[in-house]
Chains A and B, each alone.
Chain A
Amino acid sequence: MAELRRRGPMTAVICSDAFLNLARTQARVFGVPDMPLIVIPHPLGGIAMAEIKSRAERALPQLLDLIRNFAR
């Protein structure tokens, strides 16, 4: 993903909030500290379909922002 970002296409990593520290650290380690992170509430595993949908709803506006900013 870091390599993709360096090459220029729109990139983002979806991560749950409990893993935000790890995601930020990894972005820094891989030399892409500005890697966009789409943050959803933890957990991701062991949840019902309604909760999965609610996470998608949290992710969607962040994704739209990303697309708008990328298009500018």
Chain B
Amino acid sequence: MSELTHLLGDPGVSFTAEDDFQALNDLFLERGWGDGLPIIPPNLRRVERMLEYCDRPWNQPIGLIPPRWGETTPWRLAANAVMAGCRPEYFPLVMLAIEAMCVEAFNLYGVQTTTHLCAPLLIVNGPVARELNINAGHNAFGPGRQSNSTIGRAIRLALVNIGGAVPGTGDMATFGSPAKFSYCIAENEQASPWEPLHVERGFPADASTVTVVGAEAPHNVNDHESTTAEGILRMIAATSAIPGSNDIAYSGEPVIAFSPEHAATVVAGGYSKADAKRYLWEHAWIPLGHFSEENIERRMRVKYPERLGNAGPDARVPVVQKPEDFLLVVVGGAGKHSAFIPTFGATRSVTLALRHHDGRFVGSVQELRRA
């Protein structure tokens, strides 16, 4: 008897059915197990194959996913990764992303249950991103690659099936977002003139990391005209200055995804990543008078009493509280566009690295494959 067969012996954790694709999909849809798209039935053989890339006990808890606080074990997560269409070698990143989302600072309970339309964005850095062919170039946020599409989808299925993020019962999003189907990219490190996100956060360049962000979908910043760093940065700063942003309401950490071309222009102007953050912070603000009277009285003066308690309509309301709160990455292919990605606000991004049990960084997912 395999290890998995043993785990599935507990009552209620598995069921026997005919291997009929349509009938099983109908059953899964009827029970609300999924995202509404067809799933790959997670049978014993497929789940065992997924777990070939799991180097820890298959029933060792990774975390609890709210609001159901469902215990996330590798084998339960593997079933969702199978359903999503993941290749087994993607599985270490799926586990790592869930682990990162369960870090308290991420506020997964809030991200899951809020009326806001956020979804966990996964930003993958390091050699494993390239090994797994995760798209960092043209259409990185869109469809086209099995890795981006299915890793992100596995996360969503786990959030629904294990965490109970069922629309209207556990997931109270007023609108939701297409980003809730799948939201996974890699940083375009080769095309970036700056240190990549994981290096900025203290990891070595040859470590592989996942950064999770409770984010809205990307909003485009078209700038085909600016030829200077200041021009590009000013356009991005102004685009980020939206009064209806959760990042202002809750002191969040929005993402700026620079295209390689925009990043090159900014660097040509002599801007380090920290310099660019400072410029953005100095120029990304909204006049207090752009908020409604009720918002000024009920929220802005209450939230920021020292700065805005008695301020007039021309007072500056910064988009973020300090320069470091802008999270900068370089993503995408050719083109004079960047993207502003607001967040849920009441959440902090979390970066974790793929590691061996002894703490060494993983250089390739093949190192995690079971003998």
- Of the listed stretches A4-12, A22-30, A53-61, A62-70, chain B binds A22-30
Alpha-carbon separation in the docked complex, A21 to B170 (Å): 8
List A contacts of B113 (CB < 8 A): 22
Alpha-carbon separation in the docked complex, A33 to B281 (Å): 47
Contact indicator B168/A21 (Cβ below 8 Å):
yes
Within 8 A of A (CB), among B102-145: 113
Contact indicator B67/A29 (Cβ below 8 Å):
yes
Within 8 A of A (CB), among B147-189: 164, 168-170, 172
B21 at the interface (CB under 8 A from A): no
Contact indicator B168/A25 (Cβ below 8 Å):
no
Residue-wise interface mask of A (27-45) relative to B, using a CB-CB cutoff of 8 A (1 in contact, 0 not): 0010000000000000000
List A contacts of B68 (CB < 8 A): 25, 29
Interface residue count on the B side (C-beta < 8 Å)? 10
Question: Who on chain A is nearest to B174 by CB?
Answer: A18
B304 at the interface (CB under 8 A from A): no
Alpha-carbon separation in the docked complex, A21 to B168 (Å): 8
Contact indicator B69/A22 (Cβ below 8 Å):
no
Q: How extensive is the interface on chain A, given as a class?
A: under 10
Alpha-carbon separation in the docked complex, A20 to B348 (Å): 28
List B contacts of A26 (CB < 8 A): 67
Alpha-carbon separation in the docked complex, A22 to B67 (Å): 9
Contact indicator A25/B169 (Cβ below 8 Å):
yes
Question: Who on chain B is nearest to A30 by CB?
Answer: B69
Alpha-carbon separation in the docked complex, A21 to B113 (Å): 12
Question: Who on chain A is nearest to B164 by CB?
Answer: A25
List B contacts of A22 (CB < 8 A): 67, 113, 169-170, 172
Question: Who on chain B is nearest to A20 by CB?
Answer: B169
List A contacts of B169 (CB < 8 A): 21-22, 25
Q: How far is the CB of B65 from chain A (nearest CB, A)?
A: 11
Alpha-carbon separation in the docked complex, A4 to B169 (Å): 24
List A contacts of B172 (CB < 8 A): 18-19, 22
Alpha-carbon separation in the docked complex, A61 to B323 (Å): 50
Contact indicator B168/A29 (Cβ below 8 Å):
no
Question: Who on chain A is nearest to B169 by CB?
Answer: A21
Alpha-carbon separation in the docked complex, A22 to B115 (Å): 12
Alpha-carbon separation in the docked complex, A46 to B244 (Å): 13
Out of A19, A21, A29, A46, which one reaches B69, CB within 8 Å? A29
Question: Who on chain B is nearest to A18 by CB?
Answer: B172
Within 8 A of A (CB), among B64-85: 67-69
Q: How far is the CB of B294 from chain A (nearest CB, A)?
A: 8
Alpha-carbon separation in the docked complex, A37 to B69 (Å): 21
Q: How far is the CB of A33 from chain B (nearest CB, A)?
A: 14
Alpha-carbon separation in the docked complex, A25 to B171 (Å): 12
Alpha-carbon separation in the docked complex, A2 to B66 (Å): 15
Q: Which of B69, B169, B294 has the most CB of A within 10 A?
A: B169
Which residues of chain B have a CB within 8 Å of any CB of chain A? 67-69, 113, 164, 168-170, 172, 294
Give the 4 A-B residue pairs with the shortest CB-CB distance, closest first.
A21-B169, A29-B68, A29-B69, A25-B169
Give 14 A-B pairs besides A21-B168, A22-B172, A25-B164 with Cβ atoms closer than 8 angstroms.
A19-B172, A21-B169, A22-B113, A22-B169, A25-B67, A25-B68, A25-B169, A25-B170, A26-B67, A29-B67, A29-B68, A29-B69, A29-B164, A46-B294
